[in-house]
Structure 1
Amino acid sequence: MYQHYLATLQQAEDFLFKLTPSQYIAAAADGGSSIGKHMRHILDHFFAIANSDGLVNYEQRQRGTALEADPALALAKLAQLKTWLKQLPQQQLTRSVMVRSDIGIGTQQLVNVESTLGRELMFACSHAIHHYAMLKQLYQQQTGQCLRAEFGLAPSTATFLRQQQCVR
């Protein structure tokens, strides 16, 4: 599992190396979030897990910080997460944690649910890959260039596509 976690973070790192600072901060054509804002959001989730002391609080976000405007800072944060993961003992993955998240639409509704550190890392990776798909679109809109097909592709989708190729 560690390899999956690290590979997910490595995809972000590889992507960031392709960008100029202006591409990182450019807003989406439809006025949506920039690549930097998406990256900050992805990292917020991983750091909510890494910094947890038994409570993974996904509501502690770092909106409007330098991370949204500085790809070098995002790379440094990714390196920090990779170091943390490499040092995380295997038995910690089954450690129980409480997860806090807002599930309200019209009003705030904070809930706490029980989980494990490993399950939350799986969630953070899946969440990151979902955002990578959006980052891929933003990059292609900005540059007209394509990225590797695997970037932003869910593992289950990759498995499905491999199986379809064998059927033909």
Structure 2
Amino acid sequence: HVCDHFKSLFESKPLSLQRLGYTTDKFDLMDKPPNWNLDYDNRNRKSSIETSRMLAIKQIEQLQSTITNDCTTVPLSTPINISVTVDSDPLIDNSVPLQSTYGRELWFCCLHAIHHYALIRVICIEQDLSYPENF
């Protein structure tokens, strides 16, 4: 679930921001920022990384690489159009468009990951499972 949010953010990135050799200078020269649309609810559920520890580890390593290498050149102020669900009724389109930024969404994904890791620690404690001291 945590990886899905990061994947949604990175895979929704417009092609003009994904190109190799992209720099902040090129972004500054654009007339307007590229159209970046993001919907966290539109994600692959029951994916194989939820059942395979090795695939999950590989996905996390890939996300770390993306964050440290590919995404450091995208300005944190880059605008993103996000769609959020305000009601879980599946018979009604409850999506609401909001404006955000790349930095805010990256921050959200990081905080969401911390939330899930905290839950994992609680589960480990309740199940009397070992976990790293600094986890």
The reply to whether TM is greater than 0.5 is yes
Higher helix proportion (structure 1 or 2): 1
Residues 59-101 of structure 1 deviation map (CA, whole Å, 9 limit, x = unaligned): 1222112111001111111111111111223443211011112
Figure out how many residues of one structure are paired with residues of the other and give that number. 110
Deviates further, 111-120 or 57-66? 57-66
* Partner AA of 1:95 in structure 2: T
Within a 5 Å distance, the mapping from 1:1-168 to structure 2 comes to 41-52=1-12, 53=14, 54-87=36-69, 88-106=71-89, 108=92, 109-145=94-130, 147-148=132-133, 151=135
In structure 2, relative to structure 1, the CA distance for the partners of 1:103 and 1:95 (3 Å cut) is same
Q: Provide the secondary structure at the position in 2 that maps to 1:93.
A: coil
Shift of 1:142: 2.8
Gaps of 5+ in 2: 15-35
RMSD value, Cα: 1.9
Question: Are the aligned partners of 1:136 and 1:147 in contact in 2 as well (CA < 8 Å)?
Answer: no
> TM-score by structure 1 length?
0.59
> TM-score by structure 2 length?
0.72
Residues 9-65 of structure 1 deviation map (CA, whole Å, 9 limit, x = unaligned): xxxxxxxxxxxxxxxxxxxxxxxxxxxxxxxx1111111111113112101222112
> Which structure carries more relative contact order (alpha carbon 8 Å, separation 6+)?
2
- Distance in 2, matches of 1:142 and 1:47, equals 30
* Partner AA of 1:49 in structure 2: L
State the identity as a percent. 29
